[in-house]
């Protein structure tokens, strides 16, 4: 069995599914003969949602596949892939919007500057596994051992650079199989994560409906159009009245 979605390709416009988110203003300083430091604006506290969904367990040695979270809470999950383009603007925007995200990074695309992603980690995001090599055909070209080796390589790299082994896996290109599900479980991860909505080329694309829904997992990429994509996601998130929550927190695998 091979199932999944097309992603992480050079021409995102060609993607198509395959079967199978207020700072409290600082109070004005009272007039004083002695100047006092300007108060710093404080981040708002994110709402805490009690999870109403439990991550399915590994059964028969196969990791579960999560495409959307069935929840009644007004929440949405942001995931950002690869790590090709690294700009200060992306760090600034994520901090400005106060968005936590699951960063599905690929070793070969971040190896030139792995420390760049520490800024996102400091903001509350987590690094997850998107393989070492990003072979979008791995599910068809590679057997179990090659797949698990590529996953374990990223597990160890993430631990070395970010102090945590990933708990979630995103397949390059989105396709998965039972062999991959076994490899994910044996590499020490809890689930494969796909999506039904993505921010791409400055707009939102939906596999279901025409707006964000509670529990949607949104795909983005670290690309040159990061600002436009994040802007499209933000407009959709606010229009839907949803809070951006860290997927790992909600699933209990942070």
pLDDT (tens digit per residue) in 54-68: 999 999 999 999 999
With both helix axes pointing from N to C terminus, report the angle between 178-186 and 144-162 in degrees, rounded to the nearest 10.
40
Alpha-carbon distance 219 to 5, whole Å? 11
Check residue 5 and give its pLDDT.
55
Check residue 37 and give its pLDDT.
38
Check residue 16 and give its pLDDT.
36
3-state secondary structure of 180: helix
Check residue 48 and give its pLDDT.
80
Alpha-carbon distance 254 to 248, whole Å? 5
Check residue 34 and give its pLDDT.
38
Alpha-carbon distance 19 to 3, whole Å? 6
Cβ-based neighbour number of residue 27 at 10 Å: 7
**pTM of the shown model:** 0.85
Q: Which of 173, 134, 164 has its CA nearest to residue 151?
A: 134
Which segments of the chain have a pLDDT < 50?
Answer: 9-44
Contact 225, 202 (CB under 8 A): yes
Check residue 47 and give its pLDDT.
72
Element (H, E) at 2: strand 2-5
The phi-psi region of residue 252 (left if phi > 0; otherwise alpha if psi is between -120 and 50; otherwise beta) is left
């Amino acid at each position: 069995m091979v199932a999944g979605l097309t992603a992480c390709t050079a021409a995102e416009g060609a993607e198509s599914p395959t079967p199978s988110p207020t700072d409290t203003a600082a109070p004005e300083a009272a007039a004083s003969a002695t100047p006092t430091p300007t108060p710093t604006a404080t981040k708002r506290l994110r709402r805490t949602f009690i999870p109403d969904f439990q991550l399915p367990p590994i059964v028969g040695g196969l990791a579960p596949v999560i495409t959307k979270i069935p929840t009644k809470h007004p929440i949405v999950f942001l995931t950002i892939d690869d790590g090709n383009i690294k700009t200060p603007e992306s760090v600034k925007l994520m901090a400005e919007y106060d968005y936590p995200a699951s960063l599905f990074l690929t070793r070969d695309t971040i190896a030139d500057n792995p420390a760049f992603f520490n800024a996102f980690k400091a903001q509350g995001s987590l690094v997850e596994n998107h393989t070492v090599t990003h072979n979008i055909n791995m599910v068809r070209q590679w057997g179990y051992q090659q797949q698990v080796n590529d996953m374990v390589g990223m597990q160890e790299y993430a631990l070395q650079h970010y102090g945590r082994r990933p708990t979630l896996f995103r397949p390059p290109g989105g396709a998965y199989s039972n062999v991959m599900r076994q490899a994910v479980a044996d590499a020490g991860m809890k689930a494969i994560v796909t999506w039904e909505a993505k921010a791409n080329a400055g707009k939102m694309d939906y596999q279901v409906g025409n707006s964000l829904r509670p529990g949607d997992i949104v795909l983005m990429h670290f690309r040159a159009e990061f600002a436009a994509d994040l802007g499209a996601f933000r407009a959709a998130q606010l229009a839907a009245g949803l809070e951006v929550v860290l997927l790992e927190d909600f699933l209990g695998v942070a």
